[in-house]
Amino acid sequence: MPEPGPTDVYGVVVKLVGNDRVLVECSDGKRRLCRIRGQLRRRIWIREGDLVLVSPWDFQSDSRGDVWWRFTKGQALKLAEQGALPDFLKEKLSA
């Protein structure tokens, strides 16, 4: 399981937009339109409700970002137990 960098945030996929893009509600309270990085595109399938790790862009950091990791359900529950996720993201995971 990767460790998030200083600018990376956790997020839950709210909507699949298409064209390898997803709408993610992030742990800092912002919704970002994120693209799925090339190495994840065909290897890992992302669905609504998945916990992902988002790297905000240097420009438009409040509205855009890159998804660079998808957590499994077991990994997401472990992170929630450790207290790494805010409460509103925990609620979205359980729903």
Residue 4 lies in a domain: no
Q: Stretch 61-81: mean pLDDT, rounded?
A: 93
pLDDT band at 58 (very low <50, low <70, confident <90, very high): very high
**Residue 95 domain flag:** no
The pLDDT, as a whole number, for residue 90 is: 83
* Helix intervals (H) in the chain: 38-41, 73-82, 87-94
Q: Are 94 and 77 in contact (CB under 8 A)?
A: no
1 within some domain: no
Angle at 69 between CA 53 and CA 2, to 5 degrees: 85
What CATH number has the domain bearing residue 52?
2.40.50.140
Domain assignment present for residue 75? The answer is: yes
Q: Which domain holds residue 29?
A: 9-90
Q: What's the number of domains the chain is made of? A: 1
Q: What is the dihedral of CA 17, 19, 20, 24, to 10 degrees?
A: -20
- Does 41 score more than 80 pLDDT? no
